[in-house]
Homo-oligomer: A and B are copies of this chain.
Amino acid sequence: MEEYISIDPSDYHVFHPRPVYLIVVKKNKGYNVMAASWVSPVSEEPPLAAIALEKSSYTRQLIDVGSEVTINIVGEEHAEIVYKAGTLSGRKVDKWKLLNLEPIASRKISVPGIKNAYGFVEGIVKNIVEAGECDLVIVEILNINVRKDLYEKYGWDLRKARILMHVRGRVFSTPGKLLFVKK
């Protein structure tokens, strides 16, 4: 019989590791970038994703319903950028410049993706819902761009795309071996 213990109900690590993304929004001059792993697809028709953003975060203050955003899918080679984007505040430094990010033009919106990301999702904020200390930002997905060498018919080629996942603090991981369930 396995033994269970109760832990702090606010210990969100129970839901980790999970993919971590770079979120890009427009600011006065240029762009702000942040790291987020509290992200999920929430609908196919229309295509929607939800991003939980701290109410006090700079990114949250930069956006409203109608704002443009890109959700950038990254890999293990981007771990350091993600860590810095997740720990520095765009209020104090220009993270886009500090991290030497370069834009890739989006097709449907004016906010760019990040060059060398595995892919980037172009969206517009459709709804913002309060959820505790965060706001749940519902984004309608207008276009998805993926690196041609990394994506197959039904998703990432995980032999090549080392999708970055956040474990905790400075610790990250990537998917390991594949498991196939029999029909």
Contacts and interface: CB of A to CB of B under 8 A. Distances in A.
Contact of A133 (B10, B43, B168, B179): B43
A73 B178 CA distance: 18
Contacts of A174: 175-177, 179
Interface stretch (A22-30, A88-96, A153-161): A153-161
A154 B10 CA distance: 12
B49 A50 contact: no
B176 A10 contact: no
A63 interface: no
Nearest to A46: B132
5 contacts: A14-B156, A40-B52, A42-B134, A50-B136, A171-B181
